[in-house]
């Protein structure tokens, strides 16, 4: 059983046709898993629905706490890409014995041409087989939390 914690991020942004702006409604995770014909047993909980640039220390403390309390030893977190590395870092010290993989998207799933479904398939696979540790799964690759940064100009994650 994989635990999935939803925190928002580009993954789950939608277009509000009345205001012309982007916003959060419900997570698309269940729909995406259905589209991928996933048969992995998962339990999904939405912790927050926010842009990761707006994530506070209190938000991160909540994520850490929920990961610590989880009975599952394999956890996938959907997260905005801008501060994904920071949250991964916050998880590394307090959690041990669990495999935690963070992933996100550059393009909202609700729009065409999203990388979200690819990333979800990737993260869900890495989380099933990697040893305990905190990882970021983006661009088809997997990085340990302390060996990665987001290249904001390229919009990709790269090893450091």
Question: Binding a copy of itself by CB under 8 A: which of 64, 70, 92, 106?
Answer: 106
The one among 6, 75, 137, 148 contacting a copy of itself by CB under 8 A? 137
Backbone angles phi and psi of 60, in degrees to 5:
-65, -40
Give the interface segment with a copy of itself, choosing from 55-63, 64-72, 87-95, 121-129 (CB under 8 A): 121-129
Contact with a copy of itself (CB under 8 A): which of 100, 142, 145, 148? Answer: 142
Rounded least distance, CB 46 to a copy of itself, Å: 20
Residues 6 or more apart whose CB falls under 8 angstroms from that of 43 comprise 1, 2, 3, 4, 72
**Dihedral of alpha carbons 146, 46, 105, 24, sign:** negative
Taking the complex as a whole, how short is the minimal distance between the CB of residue 19 and a copy of itself, in angstroms? 9
Whether 28 and 43 have beta carbons less than 8 Å apart is answered as: no
x/- mask, a copy of itself, residues 9-28, rule CB under 8 A, reads -x--x-x-xx-x-x------
Q: Which is nearer to a copy of itself, 30 or 121 (CB)?
A: 121
Q: Which residues contact 136 (CB under 8 A, 6 or more apart)?
A: 84, 85, 88, 101, 102, 103, 142, 143, 145, 148, 157
Q: Does 144 bind a copy of itself (CB under 8 A)?
A: no
The answer to whether 55 contacts a copy of itself (rule: CB under 8 A) is no
User: Per-residue b/e over 14-47, b at no fewer than 16 CB within 10 Å?
Assistant: beeeeeeeeebeebbbeebbeeeeeeeebeeebb
| Residues in touch with a copy of itself (CB under 8 A) | 10, 13, 15, 17-18, 20, 22, 32-33, 35-40, 51, 106-108, 110-115, 117-126, 128-130, 137-142, 152-153, 155-158
């Amino acid at each position: 059983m994989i635990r999935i914690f939803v925190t928002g991020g580009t993954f789950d942004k939608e277009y509000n046709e009345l205001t012309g702006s982007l916003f959060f409604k419900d997570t698309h995770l269940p729909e995406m898993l259905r589209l991928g014909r996933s048969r992995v047993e998962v339990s999904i909980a939405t912790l927050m629905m926010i842009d990761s640039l707006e994530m506070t220390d209190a938000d991160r403390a909540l994520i850490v706490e929920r990961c610590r309390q989880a009975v599952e030893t394999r956890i996938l977190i959907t997260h905005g890409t801008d501060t994904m590395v920071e949250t991964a870092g916050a998880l590394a010290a307090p959690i041990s014995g669990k495999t935690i993989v963070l992933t996100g998207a550059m393009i909202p799933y609700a729009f065409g041409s999203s990388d979200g479904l690819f990333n979800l398939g990737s993260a869900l696979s890495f989380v099933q087989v990697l040893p305990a540790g905190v990882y970021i799964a983006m661009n088809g690759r997997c990085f340990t939390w302390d060996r990665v940064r987001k290249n904001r100009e390229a919009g990709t994650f790269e090893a450091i």
